[in-house]
Amino acid sequence: MTKSGATAPQTKYLEETYDDTVVKQFLMATIVWGTVAFLLGLVAALQLANWRMNFNLEWLTFGRLRPLHTNAAIFAFAGNAIFAGIYHSSQRLLKTRMFSDFLSKVHFWGWQLIILSAAITLPLGYTAGKEYAELEWPIDIAIAVVWVVFAVNFFGTIARRREKHLYVAIWFYISTIITVAVLHIVNSIEIPVAFMKSYPVWAGIQDAMVQWWYGHNAVAFFLTTPFLGLMYYYIPKAVNRPVYSYQLSIVHFWALIFLYIWAGPHHLLNSAMPDWAQTLGMVFSLMLWAPSWGGMINGLLTLRGVWGLLRTEPIVKFLVIAVTFYGMSTFEGPLMSIKSINGLAHYTDWIIAHVHGGALGWNGMLAFGLIYFLVPRLWNTPLYSKRLAEVHFWFALFGILIYYISMWAAGLTQGFMWRALSPEGRLVYPDFVETVTRIVPLYWVRAVGGATFLTGAIIMIYNVAKTIGQAKEAEPERIAAAPMASGAGDKGHRKLEGLGAIFAVLAFVAIAVGSIIELVPILSLHKHLDPQVSVAPASSLELAGRDIYVREGCYVCHSQMIRKLPADVVRFGKASTLEESMYDHPFQWGSKRTGPDLARVGGKYPDLWHYRHMLNPRDLVPMSIMPSYPWLLTKKTDFVRLRKKASVLKFLGVPYSDEEVASADVNAEADAKVIADVLRGAGINDAQLEQKEIVALIAYLQSLGKKTGTMGAAMSDTPGDGAAATTETPVDASTGTVGTEGGAK
Q: Which residues contact 55 (CB under 8 A, 6 or more apart)?
A: none
By beta-carbon proximity to other proteins, the closer residue of 189 and 502 is: 502
Nearer to other proteins, 369 or 602 (CB): 369
**Is residue 251 at the binding interface for other proteins, with CB under 8 A as the rule?**
yes
Q: Which stretch binds other proteins (CB under 8 A): 138-146, 207-215, 490-498, 551-559?
A: 490-498
Judged by CB under 8 A, does residue 377 bind other proteins? yes
Among 332, 497, 568, 597, binds other proteins (CB under 8 A): 497
DSSP calls for 516-561: HHHHHHHH-GGGGS-TTEEEPPPPHHHHHHHHHHHHTTGGGT----
- In angstroms, rounded to a whole number, what is the distance separating the alpha carbons of residues 406 and 419? 20
By CB under 8 A, is residue 527 in contact with other proteins?
A: no
CB of 463 to other proteins, least distance (A): 20
Q: Cβ–Cβ contacts within 10 Å for residue 450, how many?
A: 25
The only residue of 283, 533, 615, 682 in contact with other proteins, by rule CB under 8 A: 283
- Tell me the C-alpha distance between 123 and 59, whole Å: 4
> From the list 310, 482, 529, 670, which residue makes contact with other proteins (rule: CB under 8 A)?
482
13 binds other proteins (CB under 8 A): yes
At its nearest, how many Å lie between other proteins and the CB of residue 567? 17
Chain centroid to Cα 430, Å, comes to: 30
Q: Can you tell me the distance from the alpha carbon of 303 to that of 241, in angstroms, rounded to the nearest whole number?
A: 7
CA distances (Å), origin 154, targets 161, 333, 506, 512? 11, 31, 17, 21
Residue environment code for 354-363, b if the CB has 16+ CB neighbours within 10 A, otherwise e: bbbbbbbbbb
Q: Looking at 55, 109, 195, 276, which residue binds other proteins (CB under 8 A)?
A: 276
Buried b (16+ CB within 10 A) or exposed e, 164-189: bbbbbbbbbbbbbbbbbbbbbeebbe
Site for other proteins contains 331 (CB under 8 A): no
Q: Please tell me whether residue 687 binds other proteins under the rule CB under 8 A.
A: no
Taking the complex as a whole, how short is the minimal distance between the CB of residue 91 and other proteins, in angstroms? 10
Cβ(182)–Cβ(233) under 8 Å? no
Closer Cβ to other proteins, 198 or 278, answer by number: 278
Q: At what angle do helices 101-121 and 62-71 cross, to 10 degrees?
A: 170
d(CA 89, CA 67): 31
Out of 50, 195, 275, 722, which residue is the one contacting other proteins (CB under 8 A)?
Answer: 275
Instruction: Among 339, 466, 635, 650, indicate the residue that binds other proteins (CB under 8 A).
Output: 339
Query: What mask of x and - would describe binding to other proteins in positions 141 to 170, judged by CB under 8 A?
Result: ----------------------x-x-xxx-
Decide whether 391 or 512 has the Cβ nearer to other proteins.
512
**What span, in angstroms and rounded, lies between the C-alpha atoms of 139 and 131?**
15
Contacting range for other proteins; rule: CB under 8 A; set: 112-120, 255-263, 344-352, 638-646 = 255-263
Interacting residue with other proteins among 311, 423, 473, 492 (CB under 8 A): 492
Q: What are phi and psi of 489, to 5 degrees?
A: 85, -5
**Choices 30-38, 197-205, 283-291, 573-581; region in contact with other proteins by CB under 8 A:** 283-291
Binding site for other proteins (CB under 8 A): 2-8, 11, 13, 89, 92-93, 163, 165, 167-169, 232-233, 236-237, 240-243, 246-247, 250-251, 254-255, 258-259, 262, 274-276, 279-280, 282-284, 287, 339, 377, 477-478, 480, 482, 492-494, 497
